[in-house]
Amino acid sequence: MAETAARTDLTALVTAAHTALRDAVAGVPADGWDLPTPCAGWTVTQVLQHAAGDQLAFAAALTGGPGPADDPFSPSGRLGGEPAALLEPALDAAAAAWAGVPDDAEQVPSPIPPHAFPRHVAAVACALDAAVHAWDIAVATGRPGPLTSETAAPLLGAAGAFIEPLRGYGAYAPALPPERGEDAVAALLRYLGRDPRWTPGA
């Protein structure tokens, strides 16, 4: 029973993050794709390309299937079609890959170093990537961030297992100092090197 509950929690976490990213992308206005984002030097389009590529990378690690065709860390900033045509296959692939992870899997492969983690840590890494880039896209286009404390708290709780090594690869900026009284969303964003008060043009 406990294992079933744990699996449900992980599935719900990944699903919530995917929903946040899907909604953030769907809400980008027609003139919003070239706007700057909290990811320094990247536009909304580039964050979308990166986020979609990362989800494909997680799916490929879990299934052995094809990964992203382009380097997620060098997004072109040019969309060759509708945004949903890029995002939806990536989210579907990641969701299907997680659904296929056996209940008794203790370690699962991951695209991020050291390329294998306990199942809950690997799932958090996948969910966190989608959720934080959903926040990036939403706030870049002047909308409220989609992260909630219910989602942010479990992400923050496991993030230390993989974020610190990734800083060495330049994947995340140095953590910002926490501020008293901030909620789990702000604490997570600061840990990821993002200013929770970031606004377009700031």
Read off the pLDDT of residues 3-53 as tens digits, 9 standing for 90 and up.
Answer: 444 445 778 899 999 999 999 999 999 999 999 999 989 999 999 999 999
- DSSP helix/strand/coil, 196: coil
Model confidence at 62: pLDDT above 60: yes
d(CA 33, CA 48): 9
Written as six digits, the tokens of 127 are: 């969910």
pLDDT at 201: 72
- AA identity, residue 78: R
> How far is the CA of 126 from the CAs of 1, 38, 163, in angstroms?
24, 19, 12
Summarize pLDDT for 90-115 with one digit per residue, the tens. 999 999 999 998 878 889 999 998 89
d(CA 13, CA 6): 11
pLDDT at 1: 38
All residues at 6 or more sequence positions from 103 whose CB lies less than 8 Å from its CB, including other chains: 3, 4, 7
pLDDT at 111: 94
Please state, for a pLDDT cut of 70, what percent of the chain lies above it. Answer: 94
Model confidence at 2: pLDDT above 50: no
Written as six digits, the tokens of 18 are: 């995917």
Q: What structural domains and CATH numbers belong to the chain? A: 2-74+81-148 (1.20.120.450)
